Structure 1
Amino acid sequence: MMDLGLIHIYCGNGKGKTTAAMGLGIRAAGRDKKVLLTQFLKDNNTGELISIEKIGTNFQVIKGEPVKKFFKFMTKQEQKHTKLEHEKRFKDIILKAIEEKFDILILDEIIAATNLDLVSLNNVIEFLKNKPKGLEVVLTGRNPNEKLIELADYVSEIKAIKHPYEKGINSRIGIEK
């Protein structure tokens, strides 16, 4: 682990939060740092994950069950199942990061997961307050809770000024996914 591990938040309504987190992970892996990543509320089908698999053992990904639709469109049973899976994965990935002495832990869309109460905000806060001193932690998502902002060392807001979706252009392989 590094001497000093800080907390990063990439938030906002703009495109690029996940890409920024992945870029940090790729930079660190290139410097022989151990990086661990998981994505909440995602379908595991992104170009970034394909690239990361080619990096090797310095950048590991723990995939969750693919989430194929927005939370609000899930049945109550699907929501309950997603909550149980997300809570368990959050606990498992923290344990892995600590036990295997990772340098960086990227929790992609953890902010959305806490906002939807799929992962307890209190559990995330408790982890951040008590994380190993040398563990760098990256959180992404829209509308972070003020308590997360207070704990963070870096908070970067990515603001959407213009997006092709507004013109009816869907996400494209290699650019948005």
Structure 2
Amino acid sequence: MGKKIIYYGSGKGKSMAALGFAVQYAGLGESVDVIQCLKTKNINETNFLQRLEPEIKMFRFEKSECSFEDLSQEEKQEEKINIKNGLNFAKKVLCTGECTMLVLDEALGLIDEGIVDAEEIIDILQAGNEDTSVIITGRNMCEKLRDYVDEIYRIDVEK
């Protein structure tokens, strides 16, 4: 049975924890899609993660190499369209069963930035079947998501 999981907090390692699950699933022969949101394009990281394909398919729908907060208002509007296309893709792969695990990396930030509302993320969590796992990461927990996930992990810096 699939799980719905959130990793959030100010600490480092949320994305890596999600990718750890992705590698575990891929190792079992499952299909995994990872959609990166609001991440600056890091060519070294991107090249490394692309080596995980075809077992783990990586997607980034944003076109800009800059971080979202550094964009002009016009560029932000363009990126919002790209991001929403990415979320539509996420829902599609879940509904069609194209993947058994979907990672929405930094998707909680989409709510923080006002790009999407919690209901749009809830729609994605509810898409697919009961065997599909969805992992969402980000800095701030959106309380509206709490009732739609099985596990929530808070990752913070202690010292």
- Whether TM-score is above 0.5 comes out as yes
Q: Which moved more, 1:114-123 or 1:5-14?
A: 114-123
Number of residues paired by the alignment? 159
8 A contact 1:44–1:66 mirrored in 2:
no
Q: Provide structure 2 residue ranges, at least 5 long, that are not aligned to the other structure.
A: none
- Deviation string 1:9-57 (CA, Å, 9 cap, x unpaired) is 0000000001111111011111111100010011332655434322332
Any idea what the Cα deviations from partners look like across 1:130-165, whole Å, max 9, x if unmatched? 432111000000112101122111111110134xxx
Other structure's SS at 2:98 match: coil
Q: Give per-residue Cα distances to partners, 1:92-123, cap 9 Å, x unaligned.
A: 12212332431100000000012212233211
Q: What is the TM-score with the length of structure 2 in the denominator? A: 0.89
Question: Pairwise CA RMSD of aligned residues?
Answer: 1.9
Cα distance, 1:5–1:65 mapped onto 2, change above 3 Å: same
| Residue 174 of structure 1: aligned partner | none
Which amino acid counterpart does residue 19 of structure 1 have in structure 2?
Answer: M
Name 2:71's counterpart in structure 1: 74
Correspondence for 2:6 among 5, 9, 12? 9
Relative to structure 1, is the Cα distance of residues 87 and 141 closer, same or farther in structure 2, using a 3 angstrom cutoff?
same
Change beyond 3 A, Cα 1:73–1:44: closer
CA distance in structure 2 between the partners assigned to 1:81 and 1:48 by the alignment: 24
Letter in 2 for 1:8: I
Counterpart residue identity of residue 141, structure 2: P
Instruction: Look up the match of 1:137.
Output: 134
8 Å CA contact retained: 1:64, 1:85: yes
**Stretches of structure 1 lacking an aligned partner (at least 5 in a row):** 163-177
Change (3 A) 1:17 1:131: same
> Match for 2:76: what amino acid?
Q
Q: 2:6 aligns to what SS in structure 1?
A: strand
Correspondence 1:15-164 to 2 at 5 A: 15-45=12-42, 48-162=45-159
Instruction: Report the CA distance shift for 1:80/1:136 in structure 2 as closer, same or farther (over 3 A).
Output: same
Bigger mean CA offset, 96-105 vs 31-40: 96-105
| Between 97-106 and 12-21, the greater mean CA deviation after superposition | 97-106
Tell me how far apart the structure 1 counterparts of residues 67 and 45 of structure 2 sit (CA, whole Å). 21
The residue number in structure 2 matching 1:168 is: none
Does the Cα contact within 8 Å between 1:110 and 1:139 map onto a contact in 2? yes
What amino acid does structure 2 have at the position aligned with 1:57?
P
State whether residues 37 and 62 of structure 2, in contact with CA within 8 Å, keep that contact through their aligned partners in structure 1: no
C-alpha separation in 2, matches of 1:46 and 1:12: 25
What TM-score, normalized to structure 1? Answer: 0.80
Q: Which amino acid aligns with 2:28?
A: R
